[in-house]
Structure 1
Amino acid sequence: MYWRIFLLNAAVLVVAVLLLLGPVTVSTPVLHGEALVLGVGLAAMLVANAALLRVGLAPLQRLARAMATADLLRPRSRPAVTGHGEIAELTASFNAMLDRLESERATSSGRVLTALEGERRRIAQELHDEIGQTLTAVLLQMKHTTDRAPAPVREDLTQVQEAVRSSLEEIRRIARRLRPGVLEELGLHSALRALAAEFTTPGLDVRPHIDPGLPALDQDTELVFYRVAQESLTNVARHSGAGRAELRLRSLPHGGVGLLVRDDGKGVGGAAEGAGIRGMRERALLIGADLTVAARRGGGTEVRLEITGPQGPQGYRDSSSEEHGAEEQTR
């Protein structure tokens, strides 16, 4: 870089000296015509110097733009390494640093998500085994007490019994969200249909569409697809104000599998991405998938998760397969 700038400036100065030694001369005192020639010559030198420096520093400017827009959750193409010297070495070092950071982030994110899934399973199991069974025993005892209670008290006990039953159903619903048992037992297709039915309410109609003959996905990839669909529908139900949503699992034209969740709500607008979308991006990176969250034409939001050549994620392993047999016995 130093020698490139030095040689560019030296070339401009050499040209100026040659002009002064040749057709351009300066007398004492300086005549108006000579001053005009010198002014024009100085302006030409500055313009030439600026143009040459812009050309010489263009690779550094491209590298600066790449540094400013780098995002580990949105991998982009690396800046090209062109030429020789310090700029080429700096560009190559920057690309190597991005590769290393993305790899380390994928590994650490995989460990965090593995621990998160394990904790979700533990909480779901405790809700099912401890609180769920306790509430079930309370319901049985209350039914026995209600049947033997006098008429004035029986109605109050019935209302309490219904409240306990509603709490038990809510705990079971939370446990199903924390631990997708349908996914483990029946696969992704049935899990997505059950998920769509769970989010379908009087104010929101979620319609699932599963294409036949989809390529097989491994267990970890299915879990990522399920969690992205779950988070997307949660955002639709909480924030979009939509009346209809579509959940589609389909084959891609170039091979692979794609998940599409779209709604007719108010769209993402200019809101910054929250923790939920960032979590979806981290999960997508772990399986080498592309995640796109964008506004739909005509209103609404569209979430696309696409993977080609499905394969298991690196650094991310759900521990469900090891614990599934034991938990089935417990249930």
Structure 2
Amino acid sequence: MTERTHRGAGARSPGRVLFRRLFAINGLVFTVGTLVLALSPATVSSPLLLTEIPVLTIGLALMLTANAVLLRTGLAPLDALTTLMQRVDLMHPLDRLPSGGNRDLDHLIDTFNAMLDRLEAERSASAAHALAAQEGERRRIARELHDEIGQSLTVVLLNLKHVADRAPEDLREELHGVQESVRASLDEVGQVARRLRPGVLEDLGLHSALNALSADFSQGSGVPVTRRIDTDLPSLSEDVELVLYRIAQEGLTNAARHARASRVELSLTARPGGLELRISDDGRGGAIDEGAGMRGMRERALLIGARLSVVSPPGGGTDVRLTVPTGTGKAP
């Protein structure tokens, strides 16, 4: 059974099919040329006469031209296939080469498209496992920050208050300064824990989580955020909500870290056919090279079947849009 399958695959291999096509084309051209010379009144003398040279030259030119046209037509799909190979990127799916009606090369094109489908499916599965592990590690670190470091700092803060109340007057001011430093450290630990594990997303939902994220971003960076979040959003699964939150988080981080923006707009609106998350700023733009953050956003978008577009002309700010199609965002 296996041997028969291999034989069938070999018989349909593109190399053999292409060889047979080229052999047939060249055979046809030379057969026609031979028949023309045999049936026409033209003859070739020995030695060759000068009057016969134009006849031979024209015949050779016609055969070469016919051969070139037929080969060019037959091999044209290979140029398109080569171009696709050069530009293909698994982070930008759905780039496929349609069958051009050339049955000899359609099998090669279909095989290449099937290979891209398998590679994108494998990459999507690998990215899903990696992101799931990343989220699990973030939750673990956030829990340790809150339960261990946060509680330890709280105990230190209470002990400092107790000591400051009993300390001499000349030491109280210094102890109060230490208290404020510990309190600031405790707040920073809490902010890091919230960024790692958005508890408000699990407890209060996406709307409240995006509002809290924008408020924390404005407080930490000093950049005001204009929010426009629809209140009548469709029911979303946990995975979709987490992807929307993480992409909004990364978009705001990029606006503060790279864009040097003075104003940011964040919106999540229901559109015909799906949802649209948009993060735009008035920064310097020109974000051409995609770093780890941008590739992470694209990987998350692929996990839920969404489409991510980034427009960043030099000096024109950056506009990040995530479009989630209808049906993907429904909770199970």
**TM-score, with length taken from structure 2:** 0.86
Bigger mean CA deviation after superposition, 78-87 or 95-104: 78-87
Which residue, out of 224, 242, 250, partners 1:223?
242
**Alignment partners' CA distance in 1, 2:265 and 2:53:** 76
Correspondence 1:289 to 2:316 = no
Amino acid in structure 1 at the alignment position of 2:175: L
Superimposed CA distance per residue, residues 253-285 of structure 1 (whole angstroms, 9 cap, x where no aligned partner):
3x2111011111111343x21111111111111
Correspondence 1:242 to 2:261 = yes
Structure 1 residue 211: deviation in Å? Answer: 2.3
Contact 1:199–1:233, Cα closer than 8 Å, also in 2? yes
Superimposed CA distance per residue, residues 129-166 of structure 1 (whole angstroms, 9 cap, x where no aligned partner):
10001011111111222222223333322222221111
Structure 1 residue 51: deviation in Å? Answer: 2.1
**Alignment partners' CA distance in 2, 1:33 and 1:244:** 84
Matched residue of 1:56: which SS? Answer: helix
**Alignment partners' CA distance in 1, 2:303 and 2:323:** 13
**Alignment partners' CA distance in 2, 1:205 and 1:312:** 29
Corresponding residue number in structure 2 for 1:78: 96
**Alignment partners' CA distance in 2, 1:28 and 1:227:** 85
- The 1:46–1:152 alpha-carbon spacing in structure 2 relative to 1, beyond 3 Å, is farther
**Alignment partners' CA distance in 1, 2:222 and 2:50:** 84
- The 1:33–1:141 alpha-carbon spacing in structure 2 relative to 1, beyond 3 Å, is farther
Corresponding residue number in structure 2 for 1:327: none
Superimposed CA distance per residue, residues 213-239 of structure 1 (whole angstroms, 9 cap, x where no aligned partner):
222211111111000110111111100
**Alignment partners' CA distance in 2, 1:235 and 1:193:** 18
- The 1:24–1:111 alpha-carbon spacing in structure 2 relative to 1, beyond 3 Å, is same
Q: Mind listing any 5+ residue stretches in structure 1 that lack a counterpart? A: 318-331
Q: What is the alpha-carbon root mean square deviation over aligned residues?
A: 2.4
**Alignment partners' CA distance in 2, 1:67 and 1:216:** 40
Correspondence 1:209 to 2:265 = no
| Identity within the alignment, % | 56
- The 1:182–1:33 alpha-carbon spacing in structure 2 relative to 1, beyond 3 Å, is farther
**Alignment partners' CA distance in 1, 2:299 and 2:127:** 7
Corresponding residue number in structure 2 for 1:321: none
Correspondence 1:56 to 2:61 = no
Which residue, out of 300, 312, 321, partners 1:304?
321
Bigger mean CA deviation after superposition, 229-238 or 79-88: 79-88
- The 1:180–1:269 alpha-carbon spacing in structure 2 relative to 1, beyond 3 Å, is closer
**Alignment partners' CA distance in 1, 2:167 and 2:52:** 118
**Alignment partners' CA distance in 1, 2:99 and 2:301:** 28
Corresponding residue number in structure 1 for 2:7: none
Contact 2:260–2:284, Cα closer than 8 Å, also in 1? yes
Amino acid in structure 1 at the alignment position of 2:249: Q
**Alignment partners' CA distance in 2, 1:267 and 1:40:** 61
- The 1:248–1:23 alpha-carbon spacing in structure 2 relative to 1, beyond 3 Å, is farther
Bigger mean CA deviation after superposition, 136-145 or 175-184: 136-145
**Alignment partners' CA distance in 1, 2:294 and 2:41:** 69
Amino acid in structure 2 at the alignment position of 1:273: E
**Alignment partners' CA distance in 2, 1:152 and 1:24:** 123
Correspondence 1:179 to 2:197 = yes
Contact 2:283–2:315, Cα closer than 8 Å, also in 1? no
Bigger mean CA deviation after superposition, 240-249 or 201-210: 201-210
**Alignment partners' CA distance in 1, 2:302 and 2:316:** 28
Structure 1 residue 242: deviation in Å? Answer: 0.9
Matched residue of 1:199: which SS? Answer: helix
Bigger mean CA deviation after superposition, 282-291 or 9-18: 9-18
**Alignment partners' CA distance in 1, 2:188 and 2:52:** 92
Matched residue of 2:308: which SS? Answer: strand
Superimposed CA distance per residue, residues 75-103 of structure 1 (whole angstroms, 9 cap, x where no aligned partner):
12432235575522222222222222222
Corresponding residue number in structure 2 for 1:189: 207
Corresponding residue number in structure 2 for 1:109: 127
Which residue, out of 65, 69, 77, partners 2:87?
69
- The 1:250–1:298 alpha-carbon spacing in structure 2 relative to 1, beyond 3 Å, is farther
- The 1:84–1:19 alpha-carbon spacing in structure 2 relative to 1, beyond 3 Å, is closer
Structure 1 residue 3: deviation in Å? Answer: 1.4
Amino acid in structure 2 at the alignment position of 1:7: A
Which residue, out of 123, 127, 137, partners 2:141?
123
Contact 2:229–2:268, Cα closer than 8 Å, also in 1? yes
The structure whose RCO (Cα within 8 Å, separation 6+) is larger is: 1
Q: Mind listing any 5+ residue stretches in structure 2 that lack a counterpart? A: 1-17
Corresponding residue number in structure 1 for 2:3: none
Correspondence 1:14 to 2:31 = yes
Aligned length: 312
Matched residue of 1:288: which SS? Answer: coil
